[in-house]
Structure 1
């Protein structure tokens, strides 16, 4: 693995390039763009999948989203779906400059919200030849389920306050600690495990500080990762999910996405696996990687 950067508009996007153990720069390889969840970074679950898929013989790149982690872009802590999708396209641009990447064999893999962004990017980025998702979530649908109208009213009020000189509101994606979660009475399996993954030594990473610019949620609320998927997704897709339901909805999202896609598709459900089991737990991740590697070898 080596750190690299690529450009999105006027700033650098920080990435890690994972290479096969027997890498030979004189050879050409299939390559994968690995897209991290909302609130995450290249050193967490997307990086885990990139590392495992590199061990399967692929070149794989995982990157911090623009405005987040070690990547550039201002203002900080923005979650902007259009830019997240453009990050994927720019990562493909970067892969196209590497002489050891076969430009006809590029795929994408996204985890959680990254799965939604991966699918959305592939709909209009046909240099991507195969699409994989792990516990894919439609981040717009998820945030709309919290009450879009009231949230948009509050975003408008906050923008007005900031236009008049107030300090920008930086909130959190999830409770900031196990203690905060318990105090809030949060018991849903996805949120319990989100805190366990992101806010404890299990998966905590300084590039993912659990900070979100509140006003950027207006763009999230208006985003539908799978809009026009029936018409525009022409690449084969491998969908991986667990069968334990939670608030993020990835179990049902995977089934719904499978039903909507009209082209070549496969749905792989791992019994007993939760959303966050498929982030880093060895056995379910190994099963997911095995299925994905077979899929990518077939299509790339």
Structure 2
């Protein structure tokens, strides 16, 4: 029986609210307490895409209360200016979502886990290191945004890119129009020859396969600098002690999730960790294609069941 109940939620952040969807298990009983999983969307994505409609639904069907949320400054969440991708804020968002969960009488506050997808995977890992209310961590094709900025997103020239960001921020402070960059080509044809991750990301985000109104894949250039000094895996050897399940596809691309997955699996200080490699599948296959998604869930659900 599939979950038949989804509710919207408004999560208090600083001076804005974070928009979220809560997915409930079948035959949900408000008088009982359930384990909960926070589902974090990829960079440039939104809660209605893979974090919610694919994995949120599946984890709810498996008996969990799942909260899929839009990052601050993105999607239906508040915060100005729009389209900011700031790792520090993305990590803080998890604590605000936990704050909301622990007020819900049907959530067992000792059994809160997280699943992060793509950039959300890196953010989930970073958040769990200091947010000890998160008891179990799942990373699905997790990407370390700091690595991505130093590599594919800057053409391996971060200093020149940072100089450009600085000039743009100065221009905007003086009244220039914001530079909101689309992170992907406009069409699949335009992405041809740009590598597997760019092509498949465009096919997911720019076609009916995954396109959603708030899945904008846009980023405010002038607010991107902080990410260049950020590392999702910093202090993982000491601080990442919760049980960790890392799922990757073995067809690597420029966004680096295969490499990053193996790195955090090696570096994580936890004793209870599992690496799952979906053989023959790519980063974006694991967003929504039934066979690799099934492989991921066949590992993640028992892992949560055992450790939450």
What TM-score, normalized to structure 2? 0.95
Tell whether 2:201 aligns with 1:194: yes
The CA RMSD over aligned residues, in Å, is 0.9
Cα distance in 1 between the residues matched to 2:101 and 2:72: 18
How many aligned residue pairs are there?
A: 297
Where 1:243 maps in the other structure, the secondary structure is strand
Aligned position for 1:253: 260
Aligned position for 2:3: none
Where 1:271 maps in the other structure, the secondary structure is strand
Aligned position for 1:296: 304
Q: Give the CA deviation at 1:180.
A: 3.0
Where 1:68 maps in the other structure, the secondary structure is coil
Within a 5 Å distance, the mapping from 1:4-19 to structure 2 comes to 4-19=9-24
Cα distance in 2 between the residues matched to 1:176 and 1:212: 15
For each residue in 1:174-204, what CA deviation from the matched residue of structure 2 results, as whole angstroms up to 9, or x when unmatched?
Answer: 112224324xx42x11111000000111000
Where 2:29 maps in the other structure, the secondary structure is coil
Within a 5 Å distance, the mapping from 1:186-265 to structure 2 comes to 186=194, 188-263=195-270, 264-265=272-273
For each residue in 1:218-261, what CA deviation from the matched residue of structure 2 results, as whole angstroms up to 9, or x when unmatched?
Answer: 01211111111101111010001111111111111111111101
Where 1:273 maps in the other structure, the secondary structure is strand
CA contact (8 A) 2:73 2:84 kept: yes
Q: Give the CA deviation at 1:165.
A: 1.3
For each residue in 1:31-81, what CA deviation from the matched residue of structure 2 results, as whole angstroms up to 9, or x when unmatched?
Answer: 000011100000001112111100000000001111011100000011111
Structure 1 gap segments, 5+ residues each: none
Structure 2 gap segments, 5+ residues each: 1-5
Cα distance in 2 between the residues matched to 1:79 and 1:216: 7
Within a 5 Å distance, the mapping from 1:1-300 to structure 2 comes to 1-47=6-52, 48-145=54-151, 146=154, 147-182=157-192, 185-186=193-194, 188-263=195-270, 264-300=272-308
Cα distance in 2 between the residues matched to 1:123 and 1:97: 22
Q: Give the CA deviation at 1:2.
A: 1.1
For each residue in 1:119-160, what CA deviation from the matched residue of structure 2 results, as whole angstroms up to 9, or x when unmatched?
Answer: 000000000000000001001111111221011000111112
Where 2:138 maps in the other structure, the secondary structure is strand
Cα distance in 2 between the residues matched to 1:63 and 1:162: 29
Where 2:264 maps in the other structure, the secondary structure is helix
Cα distance in 2 between the residues matched to 1:209 and 1:114: 16
